[in-house]
Amino acid sequence: MYVTDRRAVRTAARALVLPIALAALAVAAPRAAAHTELDRSSPGANAELAGLPPRVTLTFSDAMTEEYAKVAVTSPDGKSAASGEPRVSGKTVTLALAPTSRAGRYMVGYRVVSADGHPVSGS
């Protein structure tokens, strides 16, 4: 009877491990899901402009640090359209653009580090 009781205890313990682990993950998930998001950009996605703007501005849901905020603007010929390095002010990252009048589709890409330390990227 003693062997049966030990097996029952082990089986019950194993059956409780998964629900307890899932509960712990559920409690921790809101903090882990707090990645930075791009709130808005200027110019906006898929905007059609008469000419190249002087800068691209990206505003995120969390404050940024200059060290971990990377932004690139690629011209239609695949070259960088940036003039200098990104500037950070709170939640806003700004990248000045070289005065180019070349028409075409420009791509803006970014890679930043969120408040929880995870890298977030997009275009």
- pLDDT at position 92 over 70: yes
DSSP secondary structure letter of residue 61: S
The pTM score is 0.70
CB 97 within 8 A of CB 53: yes
- At 59 the pLDDT is 96
For residue 97, what are the domain limits? Answer: 38-122
Q: Could you tell me the CATH number of the domain that includes residue 71?
A: 2.60.40.1220
- At 85 the pLDDT is 94
- pLDDT at position 122 over 50: yes
Residues 26 and 79 in one domain: no
Span 46-67, mean pLDDT?
91
- At 32 the pLDDT is 47
Domain tally for the chain? 2
**Residue closest to 97 by CA, chosen among 45, 69, 55:** 55
- At 81 the pLDDT is 92
